Amino acid sequence: MEMKTDVVIVGTGVGGLFAALNLPEEKQIIMITKADLESSDSFLAQGGICVLRDDEDYDSYFEDTMRAGHYENRKESVDIMIRSSREIIRDLIGYGVDFARENGELAFTREGAHSKPRILFHEDITGKEITSKLITQVKKRKNIKIYEYTTMTDVVEEDGICSGIVATAQDGTEMKIFAPDTILASGGIGGRYKHSTNFPHLTGDALDVAKKHGIRLEHLDYVQIHPTTLYSTKPGRRFLISESVRGEGAVLYNKKKERFVNELLPRDVVTKAIKEEMEKDGTDYVWLSMEHIDKETILKHFPNIYQHCLEEGYDVTRECIPVVPAQHYFMGGIWVDSDSRTSMEHLYAVGEISCNGVHGANRLASNSLLESLVFAKRAANRISGRKNEVKPEGSVK
């Protein structure tokens, strides 16, 4: 089965969706996703999305991102992401995304390794709020066709140029989708791990395809472990306890209920401290306590976490919960430039499968949604022949 279109996009997380929405409506677009439309890690993001609050925040935000990434970040990419953040937030609000507000103004929270509050959120399901609103917008576009339960197996290469993809439908039918431009937005690699916060079907298929075609890869060993997921002996995806919880005052205890780490340090540092404490105590988890957060804040800001823990037998307003580190995010991937172009002509990569250098060796909390959106829009602009310019001015009210 063969099809022709103007752009083919692999993946329906925020990167794929936002790229599609930023392409001209006269372009025909085919999107494929390995599972159903909503089963992307973008949907699972709890904490929020960063934004440059004002010009005075730039140096602090830049340094926080660099420090968390152990200064292995690509500075140009970090600069682009930060200075594009207000424009992206305005776009999202325009699409109907409902960020928390206080007295009519946008509310900001703080997470680990941030020197100040600069994170916008929607309860503790920010990813679901953003992704679902983008899906609604994509479904309105007559030029976009989506194929669910369709897996990319290869790219079509002609004289070193990408001219589409090969995919397999749920019924086993092989599809060849030819397009002048292809965007890979296929997500992370959590499905390759025993313990992960990712959907199990996200197995980094695009990496294998890229390797086969000699497409440049970068930092495949840069894998982030999230320090706090709800401990469980059940098989399957681990439930994330958002870093925002610690940003609002939650603390970590060992088996003696003694605090052993500064909870707002970067994720890799907190993860190392937890692992050392577990080894020392001979335990499979440590305790997370929300005793310093008032009940009203928990129910308002973290209702999903509260409800899930309750279903697992823990009332976070009254007792500690057991938490353990798990694979969470992939900072490496398919190398791309600042316009999300890979080393193969007419092939782009955005989101977690790409490596534009923003995150360095360790991602700063709540930079992932922003990074995906910024560089997805840049890919769309490049394909459309629009110049990528950064316009940091303006408010995000």
Count how many Cα atoms sit within 13 Å of the Cα of residue 327 in the half-sphere of its side chain: 22
311 to 11, 197, 308, 315, 323: CA distances (angstroms): 31, 18, 5, 9, 16
Burial zone of 120 (CB within 10 Å; 0-12 exposed, 13-18 middle, 19+ buried): buried
153 φ/ψ angles, rounded to the nearest 5 degrees: -115, -15
In 3-state terms, what secondary structure has residue 132?
helix
Burial 4-25 (b: 16+ CB within 10 A, else e): ebbbbbbbbbbbbbbbbbbbee
Report the alpha-carbon distance of residue 355 to residue 221 in Å, rounded.
12
DSSP output for 55-108: GGGHHHHHHHHHHHTTT-S-HHHHHHHHHHHHHHHHHHHHTT----EETTEEP-
Its sign, for the CA torsion 88, 90, 91, 92, is positive
- Please spell the DSSP secondary structure of 144-183, one letter per residue: EEEESS-EEEEEEEETTEEEEEEEE-TTS-EEEEE-SEEE
Beta-carbon count within 10 A of 212 CB: 11
Residues with Cβ within 8 Å of 137's Cβ and at least 6 positions away in sequence, in order, are 17, 21, 95, 96
| Residue tagged active-site, from 53, 238, 267, 341 | 267
| 216 part of the active site | no
Give the DSSP H or E segment for 9. Answer: strand 7-10
C-alpha to C-alpha distance for 128 and 40, rounded to whole angstroms: 10
Q: What is the side-by-side strand order in the sheet with 251-253?
A: 223-230, 321-330, 286-289, 251-253
Please provide residue 95's backbone torsions phi and psi, each rounded to the nearest 5 degrees.
Answer: -85, 5
Catalytic residue ranges: 267
